Amino acid sequence: MSTPSHRKKLKRTGRFAEQAFNRLIEAILRGEVEGGAVLPETRLARAWKVGRTPLREAVRRAAEAGFVVLRSNQAPVVRRLTADDIRDLYDLRKTLELHALELAWPHFTPTDLRALGQLAAAAKPETSRIWPRRCLTFDLALHSLWMGRCGNAWLIADLKRHYQFLRIFQSWVGHDPQALEKAYHEHVKILRAIRGGDRNGARRLLRQHIRESARLVKQALRLRKPSSP
C-alpha cells in the first residue's frame, strides 16, 4: 500500500514527465531536434533541469506517439520521416478528416461559418508580413471546425495526434508563398461549399486538398538534406 509521501512523489514525477514530454515534442515540431538526431538523455536532463526518470517517461510517450524510435541498448532517436511515412500519414488524414466532416456536417452553426468567413477575409494573400500567419490561422480554424463538431472523442484524439505531425510538415512548406496561397484558395473553396450546403462538393474539395498537400510535402522532403544520424 502506497504512503502519502510515495503518492506525492509519483504525482510530482508525472508532472515533470508531462512538462518534459511537451518540451520534447515542441522541440521536434520547431525543428530544433531534426529527424535522425540522437536524444542524449543525460544532456537533455541537465539542460531541461529534469530528472532522468521523468525524461525517460517523456521519451517513452514520444515513442508511443510516433515521434521517437527506441533502440535496444542505444540512445533513442527522433523519427526520420520518409516518403512512405508521408504517404501513409496523408492516407490516414484523408480517412479521419472525411469521417469527421461527415459526422460534423449537421452541427455546423451560422456563428461557426461567419467566424471562418472573417478569418478567410483577413487572410487574403497580400504583401503584408503577417499574411502567412493569418493564412495558417485560417487553415487551423477550418480543419478544427469538423474536428470540434464531430462529437466523437476518440476521433478527436486521433486527429489531434495527427495534427502534431502536420505541424512538422507546415514548417517545411509554410515559408513558400505560392504553397500558402494555393492552400488558402483551396480552403476558401471548401468553406464556400460548406456555406452553400454542398456536402459532396466539400468532401471532394477536402479530398483534393489533402492529396495536393501530400504532394507538396513529398516535394519538400526531396529538397531537404538528410539529417545526420
Q: Any idea which architecture 4-78 has in CATH? A: Orthogonal Bundle (1.10)
* pLDDT for residue 145: 96
Q: Does position 228 have pLDDT exceeding 50, yes or no?
A: no
Q: How far apart are CA 79 and CA 61, in angstroms?
A: 13
pLDDT per position as a tens digit, 75-120: 899 888 888 988 998 999 999 999 999 999 999 999 999 999 999 9
Q: Which pTM value belongs to this model?
A: 0.78
Domains 4-78 and 83-223 alike in fold: no
- For residues 182-195, give the mean pLDDT: 96
Q: How far apart are CA 37 and CA 30, in angstroms?
A: 14
The set of residues, in sequence order, having a beta carbon less than 8 Å from that of 218 and lying 6+ positions away, is 83, 86, 87
Q: How far apart are CA 146 and CA 99, in angstroms?
A: 9
**CATH number of this structure's domain 83-223:** 1.20.120.530
Our CA angle for 84, 205, 175, nearest 5°, is 60
* pLDDT for residue 131: 85
C-alpha 217, offset from chain centre: 13
Out of 3-17, 149-163, 195-209, 212-226, which region has the weakest mean confidence (pLDDT)? 3-17
32: DSSP letter:
S
Domain boundaries, the chain: 4-78, 83-223
* pLDDT for residue 39: 86
**Helix axis angle, 153-173 to 4-29, nearest 10°:** 40
